[in-house]
C-alpha cells in the first residue's frame, strides 16, 4: 500500500492511497483513526483506494501508525500471489493483429484486468537491460521468435545461461521502435524448466 501526499495549504495535507489485493486500505485508515485519534482529520474510500487529509504537524505520527498497522495487515497475507491465466496462446495468436485486437478490447483496469496468458517457450537469448530488467527472445512450438521483457527480475537467478526453456505468465503487447511495430510479451512471472 502507498499514500502520496500534497499540500492543501500550509496547515493541511491531502493524501491519495492505493492498496494491494488482500489489504483493505480504508480499513487500515479506520484502524489508524481509531487507535490514534486526532492524527487523521478525515478519510474515506474502499478496499483498493482511499483519500484522507491530516494536519502537516501530524505527518510523522501518521506515518509511524500507518506503517505499523499496514504491516500487521500484510503479515496476514499468505505470500502466495496467485496469477489467473486466460490460457496459452497458439502460434497464430502470437501476432500483431491479435495484439491490436486485445488493445481495442480495453480500457483495462481494476476489476477488468488485461488478459494474462501463460505458456512454455524455448529461451533463445537473454540479457539484462536497465540494470534489472531481463530482455529475452523466446520461441514456442510452431511460432516465430518473439521478444519478451521481465521487469525487476531477481538478479541472483537471472540471467541464467543454463536455462534453455521457461514457463511464463505474460501479457501480449506491442513494442513500437523507430516506427516499427513488433509483438512483445510483458512477463509477469518466469520459471526455469
In a domain, residue 85? The reply is no
Asked if 188 and 104 sit in the same domain, the reply is yes
Asked if 188 and 102 sit in the same domain, the reply is yes
Asked if 68 and 17 sit in the same domain, the reply is yes
HSE value, Cβ hemisphere, 13 Å, CA-based, for 178: 0
- CB contact burial 3-35 (16+ within 10 A = b; e otherwise): bebeeeeeeebbbebebeeebbbbbbbbbbbee
Asked if 135 and 188 sit in the same domain, the reply is yes
Look up residue 83 and give its three cell numbers.
Answer: 496469477
Q: Say if strands 146-150 and 180-192 run parallel, antiparallel, or are unpaired.
A: parallel
Q: Residue for cell digits 501463460?
A: 118
In a domain, residue 91? The reply is no
Asked if 33 and 105 sit in the same domain, the reply is no
**pLDDT digits 0-9 by tens, 11-68:** 999 999 999 888 899 999 999 999 999 999 999 999 889 999 999 999 999 999 999 9
Look up residue 45 and give its three cell numbers.
Answer: 474510500
Rounded distance between C-alpha atoms, residue 160 and residue 126, angstroms: 8
- CB contact burial 91-107 (16+ within 10 A = b; e otherwise): eebbbeeebeebeeeee
In a domain, residue 89? The reply is no
Threshold 0.75, pTM exceeds: no
**pLDDT digits 0-9 by tens, 74-111:** 888 876 666 788 899 988 899 999 999 999 998 887 67
- CATH (domain of 100): 2.40.50.460
- Can you give the pLDDT at residue 190? 94
Domain final residue pick, 75, 107, 140: 75
| Structural domain total, the chain | 2
In a domain, residue 21? The reply is yes
Asked if 67 and 104 sit in the same domain, the reply is no
Asked if 104 and 66 sit in the same domain, the reply is no
- Can you give the pLDDT at residue 25? 94
- CATH (domain of 57): 3.10.310.30
In a domain, residue 87? The reply is no
Rounded distance between C-alpha atoms, residue 54 and residue 38, angstroms: 9
pLDDT surpassing 80 at residue 174: yes
Asked if 118 and 68 sit in the same domain, the reply is no
In a domain, residue 88? The reply is no
Under 8 Å between Cβ of 44 and 64 = no
Asked if 102 and 43 sit in the same domain, the reply is no
In a domain, residue 15? The reply is yes
Q: Print the domain residue range for 170.
A: 96-192
In a domain, residue 109? The reply is yes
Under 8 Å between Cβ of 32 and 66 = yes
pLDDT surpassing 70 at residue 130: yes
Asked if 49 and 19 sit in the same domain, the reply is yes
Amino acid at each position: 500500500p502507498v499514500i502520496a501526499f500534497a499540500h492543501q495549504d500550509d496547515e493541511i495535507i491531502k493524501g491519495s492511497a492505493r492498496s494491494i489485493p488482500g489489504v483493505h486500505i480504508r480499513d487500515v485508515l479506520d484502524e489508524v483513526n481509531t487507535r490514534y485519534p486526532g492524527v487523521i482529520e478525515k478519510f474515506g474510500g474502499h478496499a483498493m483506494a482511499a483519500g484522507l487529509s491530516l494536519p502537516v504537524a501530524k505527518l510523522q505520527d501518521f506515518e509511524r501508525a500507518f506503517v505499523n498497522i499496514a504491516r500487521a495487515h500484510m503479515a496476514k497475507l499468505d505470500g502466495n500471489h496467485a496469477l489467473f491465466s486466460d490460457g496459452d496462446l497458439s502460434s497464430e495468436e502470437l501476432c500483431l493483429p491479435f495484439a491490436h485486437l486485445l488493445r481495442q478490447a480495453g480500457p483495462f483496469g481494476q476489476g477488468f484486468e488485461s488478459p494474462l496468458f501463460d505458456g512454455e517457450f524455448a529461451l533463445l537469448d537473454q540479457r539484462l537491460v536497465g540494470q534489472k530488467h531481463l530482455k529475452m527472445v523466446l520461441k514456442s512450438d510452431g511460432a516465430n521468435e518473439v521478444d519478451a521483457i521481465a521487469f525487476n527480475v531477481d538478479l541472483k537467478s537471472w540471467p541464467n545461461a543454463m536455462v534453455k526453456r521457461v514457463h511464463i505468465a505474460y501479457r501480449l503487447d506491442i513494442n513500437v521502435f523507430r516506427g516499427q511495430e513488433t509483438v512483445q510479451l510483458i512477463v509477469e512471472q518466469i520459471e526455469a524448466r
